[in-house]
Structure 1
Amino acid sequence: MQLDVDLSVPKADRLAETLRLVRERADDHLVVLPELWLPGGWDYARWDEDAETLDGPTAQALAEAARDAGVWLHGGSIVERGDDGAHYNTSLVFGPDGALRATYRKIHRFGFDSGEAALMGPGADLVTLATPFGTLGLATCYDLRFPEMFRLLLDRGAEVLVVPAAWPARRVEHWRLLARARAVENQVFVLACNTAGSQAGLAQGGHSVVVDPWGEIVAEAGPEGRVLTAEIDTALVAKTRADFPVLKDRRVG
């Protein structure tokens, strides 16, 4: 779901509308929300007030929506208040029973010693998650620029890379290029879910995209908020690797 994150709309209203959209996706297998769609990915002043634990109200609301719709739900990310007192940009994935199945703390923080890089702690763990429709590899936004991370996710069995983001419009062509590159080099599907609209005066890039293991675009949104749907067959991952076995020729790493 490429959400138009309008921070002038009250948080409770934006949460309610997003939960409504999730509940409407009962015929889907997996629903993906963008990075920091509720607190805002660029409005740093909100982060401390909006920080929550993994069993906080946002997580509970997402769990209920996943259960009501009977879908796997990647809930984008929240500002997690860790037990150590630090903040983390943490993704949450719920099963169709509403159980929290995986969390991922963003490893690569954007900002070059300011912004997220200064205000959030770094994640330390790579995360994959087995589902009935393939093994997911979890990453977030700026992670997309670090191919070595995705090689490690590949080695842990990832078949579908899920990348929520709050990627700005002025670098949206990087977003589109890198999503395809990560798919091609690892022979995986990439589900890259971005925000639309404007946050803290910064225009967001939109162009959420689904890319197949050959690097072909299966579905792509434009710049506006919308629900993007696509049908994929993860059997194509094994077929691609068999038909063009480039990964067998790896010599480094």
Structure 2
Amino acid sequence: MRASLIQIAVDPDESVDSRRQHAASLVSAQRGADLVVLPELWPVGAFAYDSFRDEAEPLQGPTHTIMAKAAADAGVWLHAGSFVERAPDGTLYNTALVFTPEGERAAAYRKIHRFGFDRGEAVMMGAGDELVTVDLPQTTLGLATCYDLRFPELFRGLVDAGAETLVVAAGWPERRRSHWTLLARARAVENQAYVLAVATAGTHGGVPQAGHSIVVDPWGETLAEAGAEEEVLSVEFDPEKVATTREQFPALKDRRLGLTPPPVSA
């Protein structure tokens, strides 16, 4: 299976429409890949909080339209990263989209863990409340977005729902890049799953981005890692390795917590 991770550099001087066109051209060039993945909030920039309300759009807005066409043009499964969704009730969400090779929407995932503590998306956006998996012919994807990477229970829930390949779209800051690679490898090892983690490059909202998109196998080995600038990271991986890893080292079968409530001592 071949995946192309598109590490976009969000240019603050470009219009959102120009960014959409740029992303679409990059996706369309990936014909021959099985799966293409974009990063978090690439239309606006994950730290460009001041733009969130002005650039928010409905689920089936311009980003949905252009990404659906790009998936169909390339004939690929497309995780289109995320954008700022404005729900009918006016609530904003950090929403990721997945499209089939025919350009049909297969899934939408609203980010569950909002970053910012007392500012940014933590106070501007609503929280999603549903785990989302997507069945591809070769593997089952589990969807997560950026700050979600710090919450292992989300990924264990995705694995329990059948996920074999964990896809993380992110706008991760450069100053915490060591956490990015550490957590991506940890999520792969503890869940015996592939992790495809795609970040942005460049600077937005005054925050330099980490780049360094990474693909990790179920044993925790790094198969490919990008640099700091915009690039397309392409990697071949064997989805069957998930099953063989879990069979050869069946740690998931030894779980004691999370399956049924443990006893609580007074």
Structure 2-normalised TM-score?
0.94
Q: C-alpha offsets along residues 37-92 of structure 1, whole Å, 9 cap, x if unaligned? A: 01111111111111111110110000001001100000000100012210000000
User: Partners of 2:15 and 2:252 in 1: how far apart?
Assistant: 48
Whether 1:145 and 2:150 are equivalent positions in the alignment is yes
Match in the other structure for 1:211? 216
Matched ranges for 1:137-176 at <5 A: 137-176=142-181
Match in the other structure for 1:109? 114
Letter in 2 for 1:216: E
Match in the other structure for 1:7? 12
Match in the other structure for 2:51? 46
Letter in 1 for 2:213: S
Match in the other structure for 2:84? 79
Q: C-alpha offsets along residues 109-160 of structure 1, whole Å, 9 cap, x if unaligned? A: 0011211100010000000111112000000000000001111111000000
2:61 maps to which of 25, 35, 56: 56
User: Partners of 1:31 and 1:236 in 2: how far apart?
Assistant: 20
Whether 1:131 and 2:136 are equivalent positions in the alignment is yes
Following superposition, the deviation at residue 10 of structure 1 comes to 2.2
Match in the other structure for 2:187? 182
Following superposition, the deviation at residue 12 of structure 1 comes to 2.2
Identical aligned residues as a percent:
59
Q: CA RMSD in A?
A: 0.7
Match in the other structure for 2:3? none
Give SS of 1:228's match.
Answer: strand
Match in the other structure for 1:91? 96
Match in the other structure for 1:30? 35
Contact 2:10 2:44 in 1 (8 A): no
Q: C-alpha offsets along residues 148-198 of structure 1, whole Å, 9 cap, x if unaligned? A: 111111100000000000000000000000000000000000000000010
More strand by share: 2
Following superposition, the deviation at residue 236 of structure 1 comes to 0.1
Contact 2:195 2:216 in 1 (8 A): yes
| Gaps in structure 1 of 5+ consecutive residues | none
Whether 1:69 and 2:88 are equivalent positions in the alignment is no
User: Partners of 1:212 and 1:198 in 2: how far apart?
Assistant: 29
Moved over 6 A (4+): none
| Gaps in structure 2 of 5+ consecutive residues | 1-5, 259-266
User: Partners of 1:72 and 1:245 in 2: how far apart?
Assistant: 30
Match in the other structure for 2:200? 195
